[in-house]
Amino acid sequence: MPTTPLLLAALAALAALAVAAYSSCSPGPDPSGELDVEEALPSGLPPTFIRFAHHSYAQMVRVLKRTAARCSQVAKTYSIGRSFEGKDLVVIEFSSRPGQHELMEPEVKLIGNIHGNEVAGREILIYLAQYLCSEYLLGNPRIQRLLNTTRIHLLPSMNPDGYEVAAAEGAGYNGWTSGRQNAQNLDLNRNFPDLTSEYYRLASTRGVRTDHIPISQYYWWGKVAPETKAIMKWIQTIPFVLSASLHGGDLVVSYPFDFSKHPHEEKMFSPTPDEKMFKLLARAYADVHPMMMDRSENRCGGNFLKRGSIINGADWYSFTGGMSDFNYLHTNCFEITVELGCVKFPPEEALYGLWQHNKEPLLNFLEMVHRGIKGVVTDKYGKPVKNARILVKGIRHDVTTAPDGDYWRLLPPGSHIVIAQAPGYSKVMKRVTIPLRMKRAGRVDFILQPLGTGPKNFLPGPSRALPRSLDPQGAPAQLDFEPPRARRQPASGSKPWWWAYFTSLSPHKPRWLLKY
């Protein structure tokens, strides 16, 4: 590949940036990816320069590691496992305490290059990592606040083997499908357990839980890609709240469900119980994306114009085994899918523009993790209660507390009745009002009383019916403390149906996550 357009793109980028401090790493004399040559910084260019070029696997890993080293106080790289051909699936993490979950700090992930030939997301996440690091160091207050209050994980390439196949053909030559699958010829976004069919079955029965649906045994009889397994372990280990998976081939943001409620309908609006919230999440991306907001119908993605460039996945086209449905139905995590543009393997000159268009949407989306409420669930001695359920009246989808008893519940503005409950404890109910604008989730804690100790536990304390904000820096989430109902949980001597599932989750951190 010629180096001239690359240099021109880099120079154009340099000129276009308001703050001159943002540019270069290297003129990248070797975009084909000579693995062992360390890229030297050309003299005169600051270390914050982002090279708006395609990155080979080795270049990607190097940039991520170098970024983590430069921002070692707030960044770290780790691997969640390996691809079929043995490449580490490298994540860069940003947080005020990298490597650790902090109490009540929400976790969010962005995943690119699920389809090996859809490469824009991979590059954008590599640039985002460098941008977050540079801006943090430069003292950008928005980025500092984001990193101080959020744990962000970026996996630029979920399918590094497929990428190699597509990159060998190169931009302009790569077709619509070559390199899409992993090295076993599996489509990773069709390879997750189909919990959506199970969801539709369960949802028709009243009073049955439809969240945290277990994976059935027969799923493991099929071919499961190591990349899929790595993602599943990852999301079972970290209490992710929010996620986006980045694709290419169109220009639209889609949200679950991806699998139609009528299996034989190729297109059918199939909302989750969190339809309102998912729409807000999708809009948080699309509404600040200049191309998605472009009013011309003949543009890329113009057929989604009337819908504001967002769509329910199954209403677009239905498919089974997708990652987003799995996130929502198996864990607490809400995931949307972003189609970044009509060209799956854009030429190098287009990468800087793609970054410019998606930077604000990505930041705006990351900040959405601070919507709704969060808090801790403890017993009366202050001991955290893990796996407690947080229910919201009218939304049949519970989230559960993490091992430290902390939880996050993304909720749209308005009034909600929230209930916390756990086996062996009585329910606690609170009314929460979520304002239109908020920068930090309203804090709502729950203290659970053991079951069967009588009404003396329900003495209304001074805090009752006292609207107040528990989080001085956060939004004024108004909380009414309602008198808890004396009604007990359905008395069941036996364990609930999902009990075995929770107890079967290994309490040990898998070793692969410790490989920092």
Ligand X SMILES: *[C@@H]1O[C@H](CO)[C@@H](O)[C@H](O)[C@H]1NC(C)=O
Look up residue 110 and give its amino acid: L
Residue 151 contact among Zn ion, ligand X, none, beta carbon within 5 to 8 Å by kind:
none
Residue 113 vs 150, nearer CB to ligand X: 150
CB of 196 closer than 8 Å to CB of 258: yes
* 242 touches 334 (CB < 8 A): yes
CB-wise, 141 or 462, nearer to ligand X? Answer: 141
Cβ 138 to ligand X, closest distance in Å?
12
Active site residue 339: yes
247 binds, among Zn ion, ligand X, none (CB under 5 to 8 A by kind): Zn ion
Whose Cβ is closer to Zn ion: residue 225's or residue 390's?
A: 225
Which of 93, 339, 348, 367 is the catalytic position? 339
Longest CA–CA separation in the chain, Å = 78
E-strand ranges in 124-283 read: 151-155, 240-247, 250-255
Which of 141, 455 has the CB closer to ligand X?
Answer: 141
Using a 10 angstrom Cβ sphere, with 0-12 exposed, 13-18 middle and 19 or more buried, the burial of residue 4 is: exposed
> Looking at the chain, how many residues does it have?
516
Give the nearest distance from C-beta 289 to ligand X in angstroms: 26
Q: Out of Zn ion, ligand X, none, which partner does residue 148 contact, by CB within 5 to 8 A per kind? A: ligand X
Where would I find the beta strands (DSSP E) of 106-192?
Answer: 107-111, 151-155
Q: How far is the CB of 468 from ligand X (least distance, A)?
A: 24
Q: Which residue number, 144 or 478, has a Cβ lying nearer to ligand X?
A: 144
Binder of residue 118, out of Zn ion, ligand X, none (CB less than 5 to 8 A by kind): Zn ion
User: Would you call 36 exposed, middle or buried from its count of C-beta atoms within 10 A (0-12, 13-18, 19+)?
Assistant: exposed
Query: Does residue 139 sit in helix, strand or coil?
Result: coil
145 binds, among Zn ion, ligand X, none (CB under 5 to 8 A by kind): ligand X
Dist. CA 222–CA 235, nearest whole Å:
21
* Residue 412 identity: P
Q: Which amino acid is at 158?
A: M
Chain positions contacting Zn ion, by CB under 5 A: 115, 118, 247
Residue 385 DSSP class: -
* Least distance (Å) between residue 18 CB and ligand X: 20
Q: Which two tokens stand for residue 302?
A: 């113009």
Give the footprint of ligand X on this chain (CB under 6 A): 141, 144-145, 148
| Shortest distance, position 258 Cβ to Zn ion, whole Å | 12
| Residues noted as catalytic | 339
